[in-house]
Amino acid sequence: MRVAFYSSHVTRDYAAGRLTIEIQAERLPGVPARSDTVWFTVPPDFHTHNDSVAAALLTLVGAQYRHVTFNFPISRFCADLLAWYYTLDEVGPVDESLEPRQPGRYLALNFSGGLDSTAVWVLLHDLAQVRFKVVTTDYQNTMLDRPGYSSYHRDVTTLTNLRALHYDRHGRFNCAAPLLFADYADLWGVASGHMMNHRPNSFESLQAGQRPQFLTQDATYNAGGLAEVHIVRGMNEPGLLMLLARVAPERIGPALDASDFAGRRKRALKSLTLKYYFDIAGEPVPACLKHIPMPGPGVGRSTDLGVGFRTLWMLKRLDREVMAQIEPKIFETDLSQVADIGTEFYERYNTSISQLLPSELRRRVAHGLHQAGLYPFNERDHADLNAVRRYLESVGLQSAAPSLQRSAPPPDGWSPSAIDTARLEL
């Protein structure tokens, strides 16, 4: 259960404009080690910090291995945080004198060009008027994202073969590029399109001031000297799509193409949600939403019953006939349990999560959301979220909270909110 990483940044060898990493992994004693070379394209003046590279490389393999070694030293802070988060027995080498990577000046958006990240771009750029940098990972042999991001200014675009070698299956691989380019782009922290229902979910009640369990996952960025910035973590997909429909309908077509292929369940559900907002506003429906290819009944469903967090909102808002085209089995379940649950909270934001943002960034984001007609949770919203969670638990579809518990306490001095904000420029 060992993995060794050999990175070319040690010698600043960027032949053919690539940072290359040789990965040698042994899963079982006596089994020949697997050897791969993963690469990322980089500019000639690329530079990075050892901690950022180490944190990025662990996102490619997740918690599969107990012993991790690099061909470069990392700081004690980075080593302790990686060991705790990934439950490692060994990680190193460690240079006790090495200063951990320090946060830079800028917020970054991890931008795929799909609907979620496009909505966050609109929120930050058009509404909140926050200065930020755009980081995009271009996955080799994958054309899906390119229609979404190609028309945007990007501060970093790196092509990589990690998906072609299946290093997208065990860790938070989408975090690798922002970590690798943290020093090059002078980054303080990274935001994404992650919302309340993204894994690990945040359906738990936070009214008593509890710490959201998903914050444990921030360690993947924090080990490399970056903050994870939860811009829309307190929101849900209907609210974010409502923002896009109201504020930037012209951006929907390319973003929809980058979200999924026509005829897939994910794209159909997003399209139906967007069309709903144009219909209730009495606005012309964009051409990309006039004909929505529907998946076969039950195709692509995430649960046997077809019931899920998102579909409860759709059941309350869309015609029964439309839902039956996608998920006829949902009507075989006892929906009386959710008859009295309100769904307005899907279009609002949870201040128990938004309060995690630095104060000035929080103020600007809230101002932007209010401009788009999205407002904070009220007491009824908290109650309805709790009721939805209990319903999903009762039918065995959703755990009460993400399973990110660690048996050992985190390293001394670490918390997700401990990243210094002194240099952050907005």
Determine which of 159-173, 245-259, 320-334 has the lowest per-residue pLDDT on average.
320-334
Instruction: Tell me the C-alpha distance between 332 and 39, whole Å.
Output: 49
Cβ burial 295-329 (10 Å sphere, 16+ → b, else e): beeeebbebebbbbbbbbbbbebbeeebbebbbee
**Contact criterion met (CB below 8 Å) for 78 and 100:** yes
Map out the domains of the chain with their CATH numbers. Answer: 2-94 (no CATH), 102-259+295-405+417-426 (3.40.50)
pLDDT digits (tens, 9 = 90+) for 373-404: 999 999 999 999 999 888 888 877 655 445 66
Average pLDDT, the chain: 91
The pair of three-digit structure tokens given for residue 346, joined into one six-digit string = 């899907």
Distances (CA, A) of 369 to 26, 66, 234: 48, 43, 12
**Residue 399 confidence (pLDDT):** 55
The pair of three-digit structure tokens given for residue 149, joined into one six-digit string = 């991001």
Cβ burial 230-265 (10 Å sphere, 16+ → b, else e): bbbbbbbbbbbbbbbbbbbbebbebbbbbbbeeebb
Instruction: Report the percentage of the chain scoring pLDDT > 90.
Output: 69
Pairing status of strand 90-94 against strand 106-110: unpaired
Report the half-sphere exposure of 355 (CA within 13 A, side-chain side). 11
Q: Of the spans 85-89, 141-145, 262-266, which averages the highest pLDDT?
A: 85-89
**Contact criterion met (CB below 8 Å) for 120 and 193:** yes
**Contact criterion met (CB below 8 Å) for 152 and 71:** no
Peptide bond into 200 cis (omega under 30): yes
